Amino acid sequence: MSAALSLKDVRKNFGPTAIIRGLDLEIRQGERHAIIGPNGAGKSTMFHLISGRIGVTSGSIELKGHEITGLAPYEINRRGLSRSFQVTNIFPKLTVFENIRCGVLWSLGYKYSIWRFVDRLRDANSRAEEVLDLIGLSARRETPAGILTYAEQRALEIGITIAGGADVIMLDEPTAGMSNTETEQAVALIAKVSEGRTLVMVEHDMSVVFGLADRISVLVYGQIIATGAPAEIRANKAVREAYLGEEAH
Amino acid sequence: MSQSLRTFLGFVLFAAALAVAPLVFSSGLAITMMSLMGVMVIFALSYNMLLGQTGLLSFGHAVYYGLGGFCAAHAMNYIARNKFGVPLPAIPLVGAAAGLFFGAIFGVVSTRRAGTVFSMISLGIGELVAALAGIQRSFFGGEDGIATNRVKLAPFFGYKFGPQVQVYYLIAAWCLICVVLMYALTRTPFGRMCNAVRDNPERAEFVGYSTQRVRFQAFMLSAMFAGVAGALAAINFELMNSQAIGAGTSGQVLLMTFVGGIGHFFGPIIGAVLITFLQISLSDITKAWMLYFGLLFILVVMFAPGGIAGWLSLHTPLLRGGRILNLAPSYALAAIPLAAVVVGGIALVEMAHHMLVEAASDGSKMHLFKIAIDGASPVAWIVALALFFGGAFGLKLVWPRIDDAWGEAQATGEKA
């Protein structure tokens, strides 16, 4: 079975500055994989490269065995990879329900249709309702997304990401800025929505990482210095020095 | 009442209003004016497909209106010359095809990017086509434009569309069709993704949509409806000239749409009707009418960015339970300084216009609100300035009262 995602010697320079310096990584199908690393290590840049938001300088990225390097974000999304953002990235003027439905439409084949009414698309509407239910925002369905609370917006962000049914989900710091209770709820939500899918997650909160991840990769200064099960990573000396050690203090 | 039933009733009312309007306002001037309103309603709604729905600020929308109109005028002449059996009501389809065609050509170039880049390219294309209109005389007819004669086409169920009222009904029918179609478009998957691209283009790309394709499709469809409006204008005036294609017309449709309100589907309809009315009636009353449009636009942008439709929709929840009556005293109070601002403002504009433009030939004496005044006298200026600034100050004083009344009206609504 081919890997869900495979990065081979991926590099990214911004001008003379090398941000990603030869990244090799394999994400197995169906696993929950966390990417950790200090600030400025290039975690978000790596997400941007995989999802097509910015182009690689060199190297190749494969999604389920197919080359996706250089494709536009929408093309990558149509091949089954969906991502969330570190800074909440929703459709603020649309209602919560509309937000989710926008995430559903393409995957059900409605494309740019001008021949059907959205309100009559039973499959799209029931799928959107399911997702709303899953992320616990059914009661807020008619609220404009821009006026939701921060935690609700983060949940909506995850909802939009999973709505299209992509089998590889990438979440960029899904619990950043949340209170403890909110984080617990978010972790439960992530566990629920990632069932049966491949999850790649950037996260700073170590309790979230060690609670959720099957495997962890440590990114330091644009390179993966270790990949392994949580226990291995915890025991890895280089990782402790480079990153976890700082956290322990 | 369900949403779809309400929408349906809305359209039935709109159709009924279109049908009875010439019976209520039966003067020649009124029917001419309403014909033009119908054309402008289509034009403004087509513009809002870009601005309000997709978030694209175009400075060159008249290109598609004008080209639709020119193609329609040529088609009418060609059909009349060769005695083809095509009746007049089919001509707007020529405008639609022309709009779609040129929308596709120019859209490929301009919709690659949104924001400032799109606006600048639309401005460039507008200037380019307007300049071409001055050079390419065989198609655009130079300064005279292209004249046509709508009566020479094949009759449609016996109607030859000579009398203006028949043209009115032709425009009204097309207006109704276009309004229904453009509304329906907003309810399709494509229409929703236009809103998504407007709100957050980046995110739209990450749910599988090419924002460029969404913008391009919106642009083509919008140009198509603008082409219908242009063809109806050609039928209405029996003349198309390069003015229809220029920056002035592009600015006018932006003004109508924005003043009406870009956030609501019906906003541009209000804007088109109101601005057309003001344009025709104001130009009879004052020579400085363009200046008033400029002022109106600035005031709406500054104080009511949602336009008239936005302002109205703020009040609709208050209509239920009659809570709007609670606002009446403070609105009445505000009306006094507002009237002073308006009267003072008009006096300043008219006196300035008279002194700058007409005083050299006609002398400084003038009439304002049927009162004889001397534009050179400091007293007149002092009175006008006092009215204007006194009114503005008064408005500032009563504003907190309106704010309070608003808050109260809304609070009681939430309790209820």
Going from N- to C-terminal start, the domains of chain A cover: 1-78+206-249
Which positions in chain A touch B205 (Cβ < 8 Å)?
Answer: 72-74, 77
> Which of A93, A103, A119 lies closest to B207 in CB terms?
A103
Which of B291, B324, B346 marks a domain boundary?
A: B291
Question: Greater confidence, B359 or A154?
Answer: A154
Contact between B208 and A77 using a beta-carbon 8 Å cutoff? yes
Q: Which residue of A has its CA nearest to B213?
A: A112
Beta strands B365-368 and B371-374, pairing class: antiparallel
Is position B127 within any domain? yes
Percentage of chain A modeled with pLDDT above 70: 97
Q: Is the pLDDT of residue A130 over 80?
A: yes
Cβ pair A169, A193 in contact under 8 A: yes
> Which of A51, A72, A118 lies closest to B189 in CB terms?
A118
Rounded mean pLDDT, B10-17: 96
Mean pLDDT of chain A: 93
Rounded mean pLDDT, A24-44: 94
Q: How far away is chain A from the Cα of B48, in angstroms, using its nearest Cα?
A: 17
Q: Are residues B284 and B336 in the same domain?
A: no
DSSP state letter for A236: -
Q: Are residues B282 and B341 in the same domain?
A: no
Q: Is the pLDDT of residue A117 over 70?
A: yes
> Which of B188, B207, B213 lies closest to A116 in CB terms?
B188
ipTM score for this prediction: 0.94
Give every CB contact of residue B246 below 8 A, 6+ residues apart in sequence: B62, B66, B126, B130, B133
Chain A residues with a Cβ under 8 Å from any Cβ in chain B: 51, 53, 72-74, 77-78, 82-83, 85, 89-94, 98, 101-103, 105-107, 110-119, 121, 124, 160, 163-164
Q: Is the pLDDT of residue A244 over 70?
A: no
Q: How far away is chain A from the Cα of B172, in angstroms, using its nearest Cα?
A: 24
Q: Among B181, B190, B174, which Cα is nearest to B265's?
A: B181
Q: Are residues B277 and B333 in the same domain?
A: no
Mean pLDDT of chain B: 92
* pLDDT of B413: 59
Q: How far away is chain A from the Cα of B206, in angstroms, using its nearest Cα?
A: 5
Contact between B188 and A113 using a beta-carbon 8 Å cutoff? yes
Rounded mean pLDDT, B14-36: 96
> Which of B184, B193, B208 lies closest to A78 in CB terms?
B208
Is position B396 within any domain? yes
Q: How many CB atoms are located within 10 Å of the residue B243 CB? A: 14
Which of B239, B258, B291 marks a domain boundary?
A: B291
Which positions in chain B touch A89 (Cβ < 8 Å)?
Answer: 200, 202-203, 206
The sign of the CA dihedral A141, A146, A152, A153 is positive
pLDDT tens-place string over residues B249-304 = 999 999 999 999 999 999 999 999 999 999 998 888 888 888 888 888 998 998 88
What strand order describes the sheet that includes A168-172?
A81-83, A168-172, A198-202, A32-36, A215-220, A223-228
B379/A contact by beta carbon, under 8 A:
no
- pLDDT band per the 50, 70, 90 thresholds, residue A193: very high
Lowest mean pLDDT among B2-6, B135-139, B163-167, B391-395: B2-6
Contact between A82 and B206 using a beta-carbon 8 Å cutoff? yes
* pLDDT of A163: 96
Q: Which residue of B has its CA nearest to A112?
A: B190
pLDDT tens-place string over residues B41-98 = 999 999 999 999 999 999 999 999 999 999 999 999 999 999 999 999 999 999 999 9
Q: Are residues B11 and B85 in the same domain?
A: yes
Look up the domain containing B217 and give its range: 3-291
Question: Greater confidence, B305 or B54?
Answer: B54
* pLDDT of B414: 57
- Residue B202's identity, in one-letter code, is E
Which positions in chain B touch A116 (Cβ < 8 Å)?
Answer: 188-189
Rounded mean pLDDT, A227-232: 94
Q: Are residues B248 and B356 in the same domain?
A: no
Q: Choose, out of B49, B203, B210, the residue to mutate when testing the contact with A (most A CBs < 10 Å).
A: B203
What CATH number does residue B73 fall under? 1.10.3470
* pLDDT of A149: 94
B206/A contact by beta carbon, under 8 A:
yes
Q: Are residues B258 and B180 in the same domain?
A: yes
Contact between A118 and B221 using a beta-carbon 8 Å cutoff? no
Q: Are residues B33 and B168 in the same domain?
A: yes
Q: Give Cα B51 to chain centroid, integer Å.
A: 12
Q: What's the CA gap between B166 and B162, in Å, rounded? A: 7
For residue A156, how many C-alpha atoms fall within 13 Å in the half-sphere facing its CB?
A: 32
Q: How far away is chain A from the Cα of B63, in angstroms, using its nearest Cα?
A: 24
Does domain A1-78+206-249 fall under CATH 3.40.50.300? My reply is yes
Q: Is the pLDDT of residue A248 over 50?
A: no
* pLDDT of B282: 87
- pLDDT band per the 50, 70, 90 thresholds, residue A238: confident
User: What element of type H or E holds B336?
Assistant: helix B328-353
Q: pTM for the whole thing?
A: 0.93
pLDDT tens-place string over residues B325-335 = 778 888 888 89
Q: How far away is chain B from the Cα of A44, in angstroms, using its nearest Cα?
A: 15
Residues listed for chain A = 249
Q: Among B211, B233, B209, which Cα is nearest to B92's?
A: B233
Residue A66 CB burial class (10 angstroms; 0-12, 13-18, ≥19): exposed
Q: How far away is chain B from the Cα of A95, in angstroms, using its nearest Cα?
A: 11
Q: Among A124, A105, A120, which Cα is nearest to B196's?
A: A105
Q: Are residues B336 and B376 in the same domain?
A: yes
* The total number of structural domains that make up chain B: 2
Is position B53 within any domain? yes
Report helix, strand or coil for B90. helix
Q: What's the CA gap between B297 and B3, in Å, rounded? A: 33
Residue owning tokens 């009267």: B343
Rounded mean pLDDT, B334-339: 90
Q: Are residues B84 and B44 in the same domain?
A: yes
Q: Are residues B211 and B328 in the same domain?
A: no
Rounded mean pLDDT, B192-217: 97
3-state secondary structure B159-199: ECCCCHHHHHHHHHHHHHHHHHHHHHHHCCHHHHHHHHHHH
Touching A: B residues 298-357, CB under 8 Å: none
Rounded mean pLDDT, B364-389: 85
* pLDDT of A245: 59
Q: What's the CA gap between A248 and B258, in Å, rounded? A: 57
pLDDT tens-place string over residues B99-155 = 999 999 999 999 999 999 999 999 999 999 999 998 999 999 998 999 999 999 999
Q: Among A175, A180, A228, which Cα is nearest to A201's?
A: A175
Phi and psi for B208 in degrees, rounded to 5?
A: 105, 0
Q: Which residue of A has its CA nearest to B200?
A: A91
Q: Are residues B97 and B51 in the same domain?
A: yes
Q: How far away is chain A from the Cα of B317, in angstroms, using its nearest Cα?
A: 16
Is position B193 within any domain? yes
Q: What's the CA gap between B248 and B230, in Å, rounded? A: 15
Q: Is the pLDDT of residue B321 over 80?
A: no
Which positions in chain A touch B204 (Cβ < 8 Å)?
Answer: 91, 102
Q: Are residues B258 and B384 in the same domain?
A: no
